Structures are given as C-alpha cells and as structure tokens.
Structure 1
Amino acid sequence: MGSSLDVLQGIDLTIDEGELVGIVGQSGAGKSTFLHCIGTLDVVSTGSLKLAGEELSTMSSAKLAGLRNRLIGFVFQFHHLLPEFNALENVMMPGLIQGRPRKELENQAMALLTEVGLEKRASHRPGELSGGEQQRVALARALVLEPKLLLADEPTGNLDSRTSDQIHELFFSINKTRGTTIVVVTHNMALADSMPRKVTLRDGRVLHDERRESGPYRNDSGPAATSEA
C-alpha cells in the first residue's frame, strides 16, 4: 500500500468576512494546498472546514461544486484565458456557462474591464495583451459572478514589479469598494506586509498570524482542522 502525505497539519484559522489576508511561506509550506482546501478544489481528510457557516468536509462533490460556483472566485498564477475569445468574452464566460442573459453579462463584463483599466482592450484576444493585462482580465473574470470570497494563488508570480504593484492595488480596491473577502498566496513579502493580515505557513502549520492593527503574535492554539499520518 502507498504511504500518505499530510501536507497541512493542525491548522486552526478563522478568516472573517471582508478580510484581506496574505499567505506566505517557503516553497512546500502548504500555501497552495491551504488555498485549494478553502476553495473546495482539494478535500480535507480530517478535521473541520467551514465556509459561510456551511461544513465543507461532509459535502458531496455536487454540493461543493454548487457552493464554489456561487461563493468563490479564483485567480491563478497562469491566467487560463481562452485564446480564441476576446477579453470581454473571457470575462463573460462563467456567466454564459451558467445561462445568464447575454446582454446583462456583456454590460457587467464591460464594467469590470473598466474597473481594472482595460475598457479599451475589450475586443483584444489574450495573445494581443501583455502579461499584466491578461492577469487583469482573469481578475475581472473571477469577479463576474460576484463572489463573496476571492482566492488568488501567486497572481503576480510571472509579472514585473511595476505590473505586480498594479495588480496588488486592484486587490486593495476590490476589498475596499466591494467588501470582498480576499486571500492571496504570494512570495512577494512587500505585498504581504502591506496587507491588514499576514499568515505565515511552515511545514503545513501556521507559524505566525500577524495583524497590522494589533501586531504579530505566535499562534499556539489547538487545532480545529487536523491531519494525522
């Protein structure tokens, strides 16, 4: 029989509605796995995981998919835009898949492209856009279904510092104007340090949980979500 690998161990963490949180740690610390568990892309093997008061660990795959589509938006390091569609169509795509009225979606998608500064690039396909522009389209697409929670996994990992700063400013703006809860996994310590809350993972555990208003503290509380070998 194959051996099991516990990527996350003894994590006890609550993220409140409307928070903006940076997740940092060395490669292999469990950052992406943690984000994928929150986003219901990975299933926790033990412990408890709740989103908007709903227990996720006992949900069926169908219910998880429904909750994910209803509440969560994703932005990844690689934008995953569809190359044959233009920016506007890419932003509209999640709503089209759900059968929403096309004209309503078109207006909403254009408003989002305007919000991220790309209203003049709406008719351009991904191959005609810069890396930063592609990521802004991906961010607009993640918002088109108006998620309560936005999860970003290394969203600026392939971008230069100036373009990264522009993406970072968009996260702050979205959090402030929309009240969207945002969790960002990043290697960019300047970004993480500028966020109201920074969580540091090491070896699948929470090493530090720091809030700017109260300063850093060591998290030694007992586990609510656990994995055992």
Structure 2
Amino acid sequence: MRPASFALLGLCLLAGCASQPQDPDGTWINQAAIDAASRGGPLRDALLAYGPNLEWRLDSQRRRASYSNGYEQDEGQLLAETEARLRVDFYGDYQEFLAFDGDELVQAASGTWPEQRFVRAPAAGAAHVPPGGHFERALYQAYLGGTWRIAEGLGAGGLVLFHSDGRVEGLPGAERYALCLAGDCAAMSGESDSLWLQLGEQGQAWLFERDGERLGIFAALNRAQANEMPDYHKGPRRWLLQRD
C-alpha cells in the first residue's frame, strides 16, 4: 500500500482594501509554490522556497482552522483577534496569525517560517477532498499535467498521462502515483525528489529529476541496513519522459 507520507490551515488585513471578505471560509492553497514548481525545476526547491504550509481550511461557524504541510496536519481554534487579524490557537500554546490582503490569505511571518500566501481553492467537490488534497490536485495538474511521451525506457514511444487525482495512464507497471511533498519520504530520499508508483496493491518509491519539459525517473537504491530507515540514492534511469 502507498505510505501515508506520500499521500498525504473572519477578517482582513486591508492595507488599502475597503472591506473584509464576507465569507473567508473554505480552502486556501499555496499557489506560489505551485507556480514555482510548474516552471519545471526541482519540486523540493519550490516547496521549501514558498512553504512549508501548503493548504489552510477555515470554518468560522465552528471556529476551527486547520493546515496541511504535505505530511501532517493540525487543527486549532479560530478567533477574531482584531478587526484586521485572525488568530489560530493550537494545542500546546502555539499560535498562527492570518489576515487577508485583497484576494489572498496571508499567514504572518513567525520565528518558525516566513510569511506565506494562499489563494482560495475551487469549491467544487470540496466535501470529498481530504485535507491537503486541493493543493495536491492543483500541484499535480500544474507540475505533471499534459501529455508526456516516453523518450527512453520500457514502452518507448508511448504516451503517458498523469491525472490530478493520482491516476497515471501509459506508464508500464503503474496505475497510481504520488509525489513526495514532505515528511518521511523526503527524509529517505536526501536531496532528490521522489514519487511513489503503484499497481494494484504493490508499489515502490522512485527518484525523479525534472528539467523543463523532461522528466527522468530513476530506480531508488536503498543503502540503509534492514533495521534502519531507508536511505535512497539515484540508481539507473528507467524512463525519460518528454512533455509534448
């Protein structure tokens, strides 16, 4: 089965705006990280540059707010601290501050991370998307959407489609995929980007390199001992995909 680490945060800081949004509730995604990734470079670099948080969900009626960073999620109590700022209280006396700048949700800079900005995710199907799923789907579409041709490797000449819901068509031996966003899978792959490919109930980790419209997928060689956390390093390239 696919590891969990692959699968798987109102009012307005108005600084020139006239009024706060009437309905701040819903899901907000880190579009800056998606835009950076879609330029065709390393995924890890884009997420680190604009994250680490990838998605917020606000529910003012329940006074709840939650965030996801691609590996874990946390939920806290949503409070209106002032007319210009929201506060989210988490367990353990930990707080985050949110405000609105035009159409963007702004997570204030703290001692832990820099300022981060989010845009509202489409509402369609929101009830059926798990936490972090809106960001994941938008990222998959931007980063791997379109038609890829197998330039080298098994199935050379064939076409590959990566769907935003995690399905993949045309890649021999795989019907599902997931990009590693953070957590254990990232720790196991060092400085490399990694993904999970699965067929039926069987799957395994692979490493990949994205260079513009080219995507190389490499075997993940584990240098760790049997009783240690896997330590993956790049092995032979199994596929080279070219986006048409």
State TM-score, norm by structure 2.
0.27
Where is the helix percentage greater, Structure 1 or Structure 2? Answer: 1
Higher strand share: 2
Structure of greater relative contact order (alpha carbons < 8 Å, 6+ residues apart): 1
